[in-house]
Each structure stands twice: as structure tokens, then as C-alpha cells.
Structure 1
Amino acid sequence: MAINLELPSTFDSTVERTHLAAEHFLRPVSRKYDKAEHEYPVELDELAKLAKKGGGASSGGDRPSGASIGAVVAAREMSWGDVGLLLSMPGQGLGNAAIAAVASPEQLEEFSGVWAAMAITEPSFGSDSAAVSTTAVRDGDDYVINGEKIFVTAGSRADHVVVWATVDRSAGRAAIKSFVVPMDTEGVTVARLEHKLGIKASDTAVLRFENARVPAGNLLGSPEVDTKKAFGGVMQTFDNTRPVVAAMAVGLGRAALEELRRVLEEAGHTVDYDRPAAAQHAAVSEFIRLESDWEASWLLTLRAAWMADEKQPNSAEASMSKAKAGRMVTDVTNKAVEIAATPGFSETSLLEKWARDAKILDIFEGTQQIQQLIIARRVLGRSSADLK
């Protein structure tokens, strides 16, 4: 029996709407904000208003049927326009995915409409999320948060930030919880903004928390320290966000492939799918390889998102999609620069920019090595203590 790999028609409007936004709002100013790092993209305010009027993507409130597939489809199309600008979209921060993943119904209502960044990484660790040392100490009806977070995407622009902190250092990873912290909370400061290789349209901040007091109700999920469950609640965030990051890589990869095809055709090399790749020009053969890798990445991403919508455990699949797409997009964009030669390395096209933007998609939300470790644990049925 044949397998239909096409998106259901219910997502046609999402594809059309988000692609038009990417084409008319993001792509035209892509180079502008690559050159103007830390300058706020004011064009996004108008786009956010249009998205809100049109019932755009949920920002941490309800999770309607098909929401995960809808999110990856939107991320794919918008990233075709510009990944950095997508990461700067008001109301659609990475912290919103954390709220959607683990918040209670009451919290979903309370935090509906916020723009939340996500603060996990600290100066003392990179991909080891269990090494969180930022503390959250209960004091009456509040928690008092102290610590420093680095590489916080949109950390200087969002109005809230989801902070990972430990409520009991002696209890290990089981005590790591996530807290929704308004950025105007006393004791929360933006220490500095990073200068980066790519996604320059998106600010990356260092945040400091010095006796920052938030209501106890801002703790996402259960406040209980359950050593059997470890910190599966907060880690569930990644099961939502990793397919979205994979979709960003797929969108950026498609942009690079489209430009590379144009360059090849201008040089007189047509991609012919009816002939063996080995019988065609070497550059065309390489294009076909890259395109097949891109297709595999998209199918893995769809699978992880579909499982999330069906309430099926998708930790392995989320990591598979992220690992595959992250590796694919760096390969595709770098090869596109190489094959295009001078136009690819210059600023006459966006290829060199896309090659710089691509690398972060292989790093944040867990590096290639972390994804492979998670996949190995799930496939082999081993715990984090057994397989490090």
C-alpha cells in the first residue's frame, strides 16, 4: 500500500500564511539586520499584530489538535525567510514552549499572551542541563531566585523568561524546576548581549538573578521533588522544542537548496530526476544528495511532531529530528557556498549568511552529541546513570 507523505490539507492555510509573512516581511530585511546586530527589527511588530488578528500560533496557551505539526510547519516556512528574525518574533519565544509543555490549566490562562525567553545554560555548563546551579529558595508565598544564565535567546526583548533552577541542591536533578519570571522583576538584569557568528537579528543575552522574588504559583508543574521521576517534567520542554528547531533547520535548508538550484541552472546544469545522479554533472549529483538528506530531515521532524500531537512519548524521535536536521542544514548551507563559489562566499546572495546562521541550529536545544546520547539511551533502554 502506498504511503501518503503529504501534509493534510488542514495545514494549507498555515503554510500559505506563514510563507507569505516570510517572503514579504522577513526575507526583504534579512541582510539589513544581519548587518545591524542588536538593533530591534521594528518590522516584526506589524507582523505580530497581523498574526494576532489572524489567530496566529499559540504562545503558550491552549494546545489545539495538530498544534505541534502546525508549529513545525510555521517554523519551517518562517525560517525560509530568516531564522534570526523568527527567533525575535514577539510572543513566540522558546520559553513559550516550556509553558505549553508543563503548565497547569490555570497557568496556561495566566501566562497566555506573554513573550517568554528560556534560560537554562550557565557559565559552569553547556549541554548538561542537570548541572543547573541557579537556586530557587521558598520564602513564604514566594521563591527567591539567585544565579546567572547565559545564551538566553531574546533575553533582552522578551517580557518574561522561563528560568531553570534547583529548589534543593542535595536532591540532584529531581529538584530542578522551571519558573516563569517577569523581566521587570526586581533583581533581574541583562548583564550583556553577545556578538555572534550568525542569527544576528536575534539578541542573545546574559541574565543575572539577584534575590529575584516571584510568586510560588509561577513554578511550572509540580513543586514536589520526586526522585523517581527525576526532572522529566522540565525535560518534556525539549520534546516540544526540538522538533521546532529541526523545522527551522529544514526551512533554512530549503532556502539554500532553492538558491543553489538557481545558481546551477544559470550555469546550464539542470537537475534531472529521471537520470541516475552519477550520470549527471558532479554539482547536480551533489545537489540531489543534499536534497534527499533534506527530505529525510523533514519526515523525521513531522514524525516527532505528530507523536506529540497524539500524546505519544517522543523523546527519542524529537532528538532524532533535531540531530538529523542540525547536521543536514550545516552540510547543505556549506556545500551551497562551496558549489556556488564566488557568489556563495560574497554578499551578492544570502548563501554565506545562511551558512553562518545554520550552525546554531546544530548546537542550541542540545548539541549533536547530546542528541545522539539521548537516542542511544532510548534505543538501548539505558538510564542517564548507565550511559553517559
Structure 2
Amino acid sequence: MNLETPKKFAGLQRQAHQVAARYLRPISRKYDKAEHAYPKELDMLAALLDGMNEGSPDAVGAGSASKRGAAREQQEGVKNGGNMAALLGVMELCWGDVGLLLAMPRQGLGNAAIAAVANDEQLARLGRTWAAMAITEPGCGSDSAAIRATAVKDGDHYVINGEKIFVTSGERADAVVVWASLDRSLGRAAIKSFVVEKGTPGMTVTRLEKKLGIKASDTASISFTDCRVPAANLLGNAEVDVQKGFAGVMETFDNTRPLVAGMAVGVAKAALDRTRELLREAGCRLDYARPLLSVSHAEATLYRLEAEWEAARLLTLKAAWMADNKLPNSREASMAKAKAGRVASEVTLKCVELAGASGYAEDELLEKWARDSKILDIFEGTQQIQLLIVARRLLGKSSSELK
């Protein structure tokens, strides 16, 4: 694996960074204070992103995070594709604002789920839909296998019943990718994902959450009562394969967890960059050639945080690179998510501390980044769940053997 950023994505990174600096940051505080207000400025940005993707073999955004094209790329000798493009774009945009990225049309985690498991017909029909993802339930948090929502086949439809909470963009998105069980007696193997379009009878947004951070992004609770969904909207294979178990649906996380790790890497870099500027203004030399024992505590702390950030960045790049090369990356995706989520929380809070009163005030975005970063260690699987998954992969244990 080459540790340098692929040159072919240099233009993408520059454009994403410019968008973050000139477009997202200027409205960042506005929508942090106006929770639940939709950022209308994002409509034009989403249209520009759609234009960039038209006819491009290296499309950017959540919908390009897939192993689908990896076989073709390998034959052509290309080792970096949609997953790497999506990741690099996410990193730069979250240097601007995590909440605004999560609020961007057609960039929901549901879009990554569709890209990961939809068949060709579904991808053509649903690929341009703005999709949220509904997994968590009131009695089911990080253990996705404990899902209680059900989907019962009825002719050409499935009837979904259940409740989902903490659905990012659940009110605004055009559709929601809902995880539900075809037969709870068969355990996790029967869990499938369904695309439920907005306005479908039986689907109701019951409330919007008030949150610590990412306030530009709406987070909804949704109930499903005899909600009829076309059978064609079951993503992937409808057959229940007990031998394969939960693996089919869990493949979604192999693509989305590196993206969430990328969000954490992006916001942590924003905090480090701004803190470095503030320390220089305060008189710190930031001489990297000097031994740690001979520099100030503030400088030594910054250097340590930068090292932790670099480790998180490299793990995240590796997970995306493996997905592009069609290599099993479940362990690496969880490693990246665990490391980056923890590092982002530590880095942003330490940067607030290093900046003193300036870091705690609304004059700086440092305090906002500290609030935004916490969710990145929680959603798409908590820190503890990621460590458990890594342990299972390393020890060769199943979920029933290592809980």
C-alpha cells in the first residue's frame, strides 16, 4: 500500500477543501444555532456535486463507496476507486463542517448502503435517491442483530412494523433504508434492508432530537405501522441464508465505517490546524526538530495529538483502499472507526484546552468541533462494539462465542 494520496484525486481534494473553507465554514455557526432548520445553501452544492459525478469514472460522495467496480479496476491495474474518492472528499468536507456534510442531499449513509448491497436494477432506480439509514431501535443500540422490526411478505409487498430512532436525515431524506427481520425465529440471518420512500403510508416521523453537536443535521425517530413496501425495494438477495448469517447486511458497514472514520479525521485536522495557528500567535516556535523534553508542554501535546491523528488517517485510508481492491476489510473498517472516533474526541477536546479561553468561546469553531466530534465515536457502531469486532476477527471467534 502506498501511503501517499493518489495523484489522480488531487483535484478532488482541492475542490472539496475549497468548498469546506469558502462554503461550509461561513454558515457553520448559523446552522449550529438554528437546529432543525434546513441549510438551503446545500441545494446548490449538491447540484454541483451531481454535475461532477456525471459521466465520471471516479464519482465522489457516499454513493460511490462500493466494492462493485473493484473487479474491473483490478483488471485495469487501478487500485484506487470510489471508496478512496468518497473518503478523501469526506475528510476535506468535514474539515469544514460535519453536520453540514451529513445534511447534504444524496450523501446520506443510506446512499452508501444502497451502493454496497443493491443489485444493478435497484442501483439504476434508487442510486440518485437521497437515502437515510434506520438501524437503531429503542431496545436495540449497538447490537444490530437484536433488531425487533419485522417485514412480512404479502404478495408483491413487504409489510413493515417497528420503530427506529436516531435516524440521520430521517425527516429530510427522500427515502430511508430500514433494517428489519423477515423471521425473528431465524435470528440475525433473516435481517434485510428495505428502501422505504418518503410519504409511504404507515411511515411517520414521530420526533426530532435535540443534540450536543452536528445540529445542522436532523436526527429523527420514525415509526412503521403496517407500512407496505414493494418487494423490489428489498436490497440485494431476498433469500435467508442461515450459513452466511448476518454477513450480507453487515457488508454495508465495511463501506460506511471508513467514511465515518474519515469524518473524524477531517474534524480533528480542522482542530489541529486552528490550534497550531493560535499557538504560533501566542509565541510557540513549533520546531519539530527539537526533542520533546526541550519544548513547552503545549507544543509537546500538539505533537502527540498530530501523531495520533496520522495513525487514524492511515488506518482509515487502508480500510478504503482494501474495499477498492475487493479485499475483506471488516476488521480494518472497525479498526479505523475505533481509532479515528476516539482520536477525534481526544484531539478536539485537547485543542479547546490548549487554546484556553479562546477555545471555549463561540468566537472560535474549536468548541463546536469538540461537540460535533463526539457522535463520530458513537454512531455506525460505538467504540466498544468496534473493539469487540476487531477482537473477534483477530481471535477467529463468532459473535456467539465472544460477546
Q: What interval of TM-score do these two structures reach, taking the shorter chain for normalisation?
A: over 0.9
Partner of 1:43: 41
> Relative to structure 2, which stretch is displaced further, 329-338 or 65-74?
65-74
Q: Please show how residues 276-287 of structure 1 align to structure 2 within 5 Å.
A: 276-287=291-302
1:153 and 2:168 are equivalent in the alignment:
yes
Offset at 1:59?
A: 5.3
Q: Is the 1:59–1:114 Cα contact (8 Å) retained in structure 2?
A: no
Give 1:47 shift: 0.6
Whole-Å separation in 2 of the counterparts to 1:67 and 1:182: 25
Cα displacement string for residues 165-205 of structure 1 (whole angstroms, at most 9, x for unaligned residues)? 00001111011000011011111111000000000000000
Partner of 2:376: 361
TM-score, normalised to structure 2's length? Answer: 0.94
> Mapping of 1:236-315 within 5 angstroms?
236-315=251-330
Structure 1 distance, partners of 2:123, 2:214, is 29
Give SS of 1:220's match.
Answer: coil
Aligned twin of 2:203: 188
User: Is the CA contact 2:115–2:127 (under 8 Å) kept in the aligned structure 1?
Assistant: no
Instruction: Name the CA distance, whole Å, in 2 between partners of 1:175 and 1:303.
Output: 31
The root-mean-square deviation of aligned C-alpha atoms, in Å, is 1.2
- In 2: Cα distance, 1:307 partner to 1:60 partner: 17
Shift in Å, 1:5: 2.0
CA distance in 2, matches of 1:279, 1:58: 44
- Aligned pair 1:142/2:157, yes or no? yes
Q: How does 1:1-388 map to 2 (within 5 A)?
A: 4-55=2-53, 57=60, 60=63, 64=69, 65=73, 66-388=81-403
Identity %: 62
CA contact (8 A) 1:116 1:159 kept: yes
Contact 2:62-2:109 within 8 A present in 1 as well: no
Equivalent pair of 2:114/2:127 in contact (CA under 8 Å): no
Q: Distance in 1 between matches of 2:98 and 2:115?
A: 22
Residues 109-155 of structure 1 show CA distances to partners (whole Å, capped at 9, x for unaligned) of 11121000000000011100001000100000100111110000000
TM-score (normalised: structure 1): 0.98
Runs of 4+ in 1 over 2 A off after TM superposition: 56-65
Q: Give the secondary-structure state (helix, strand or coil) at the position aligned to 1:54.
A: helix
Whether the aligned pair in 1 keeps the contact of 2:111 and 2:127 (CA below 8 Å) is no
Distance 2:247 2:232 in 1: 20
1:324-351 C-alpha deviation (Å, 9 max, x unpaired): 0000000000000111110011111001
Secondary structure, aligned partner of 1:60? helix
Please, which moves more after superposition, 5-14 or 353-362? 5-14
Match of 1:164, SS?
A: strand
Q: Which runs of 5+ in 1 are unaligned?
A: none
SS of the residue aligned with 2:63? coil
CA shift at 1:299, angstroms?
0.3
Does 54-63 or 255-264 show the bigger shift? 54-63
Gaps of 5+ in 2: 54-58, 74-80
